[in-house]
């Protein structure tokens, strides 16, 4: 069965430092990959997506992610974190073979120290 | 921008009540989804619908049902609410196929 693992439940970084959030997936098919962000009390907002082509994708708010098929990973990065980036981040995976559904990771809570 | 609207942000109900959660999207999306979100568990799919009057069970459908009589509206029904259904409920919609899902702001439901 397909699954998504976000190994870090919490991450704390200093404002201005770089950030990398990890995501590993287990899929038997060609994955469609997504990163979402959720601010407290809000729904999820799409940061970026990967369907095919260039394995480094740019998203909103200065985020980027890199698809590495050999490692089954789709890690999210940002060069310099701002206090407003504090939120929960979710990785999600889908595949045509599994219909229109996405499978979400358990999430990583990002705290930003000033 | 896609707008997904959930009828209530906060809801308090009693055990045994029949509870309706409503979701409306304004972008003519084929797919609509209901998730529940619990700390440490991420989002778990309850039901989804890929067309009017069509529905499929997700990973945790027990105790829930859904209705999609119109393309823009997808309702989640708790037939007889129980305390273990206290949770955050999120509705989402997307175009057909594997596409980004657009989320509402969620309904925090408490069952007392």
pLDDT confidence of residue B105? 94
Query: Could you tell me which residues are beta bridge partners of residue B49?
Result: B32
Find out whether B19 and B36 touch, Cβ atoms under 8 Å: no
Instruction: List all residues 6 or more positions away from B49 whose beta carbon is below 8 Å from its beta carbon.
Output: B31, B32, B33, B55, B56, B66, B68, B74
Q: Report residue A108's pLDDT band, with 50, 70 and 90 as the boundaries.
A: very high
Shortest CA gap B69–chain A (Å): 20
Confidence of residue A7 (pLDDT cuts 50, 70, 90): very high
Q: Which residue has the tokens 């509705």?
A: B91
B30: left (phi over 0), alpha (psi -120 to 50) or beta: alpha
Whether the per-residue pLDDT at B1 is higher than 90: the answer is no
pLDDT for position A97: 78
Evaluate whether B69 touches B52 at the Cβ level (below 8 Å).
Answer: yes
Q: pLDDT at position A37, please?
A: 98
Contacting A residues, span 64-93, partner chain B, CB-CB under 8 Å: 90
For residue A28, the 8-state DSSP code is S
Contact A114/B at CB under 8 A = no
What letter does residue A97 receive in the DSSP assignment? G
Summarised one tens digit per residue, pLDDT across range A17-56 is 999 999 999 986 788 999 999 998 889 999 999 998 899 9
- Residues 34 through 53 of chain A touching chain B, CB cutoff 8 Å: 34, 36, 41-46, 49
Among the partner-chain residues B48, B103, B105, the one whose CB lies closest to the CB of A100 is B48
- Closest residue in B to A48 (Cα–Cα): B100
Contact B103 A9 (CB under 8 A): no
- The residues pairing with B54 across neighbouring beta strands, listed in sequence order, are B51
């Amino acid at each position: 069965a397909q699954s998504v693992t976000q190994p870090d439940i919490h991450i704390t970084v200093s404002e201005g430092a770089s950030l990398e959030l990890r995501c590993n997936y287990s899929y038997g098919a060609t994955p469609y990959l997504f990163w979402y962000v959720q601010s407290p009390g809000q729904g999820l907002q799409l940061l970026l997506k990967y369907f095919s082509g260039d394995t480094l994708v740019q998203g909103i708010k200065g985020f980027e992610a890199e698809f590495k098929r050999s490692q089954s990973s789709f890690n999210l990065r940002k060069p310099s974190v701002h206090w407003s980036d504090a939120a929960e981040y979710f990785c999600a995976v889908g595949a045509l073979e599994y219909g229109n559904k996405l499978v979400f990771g358990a999430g990583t809570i990002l705290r930003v120290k000033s | 921008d896609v707008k997904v609207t959930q009828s209530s942000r906060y809801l308090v109900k009693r055990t045994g009540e029949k509870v309706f959660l409503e979701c409306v999207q304004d972008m003519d999306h084929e797919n609509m989804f209901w998730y529940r979100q619990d700390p440490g568990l991420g989002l778990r799919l309850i039901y989804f619908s890929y067309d009017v009057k069509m529905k499929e069970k997700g990973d945790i459908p027990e105790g829930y049902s859904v209705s999609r009589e119109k393309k823009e509206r997808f309702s989640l029904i708790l037939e007889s609410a129980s305390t273990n259904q206290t949770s955050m409920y999120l509705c989402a919609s997307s175009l057909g196929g594997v596409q980004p899902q657009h989320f509402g702001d969620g309904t925090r439901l408490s069952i007392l």
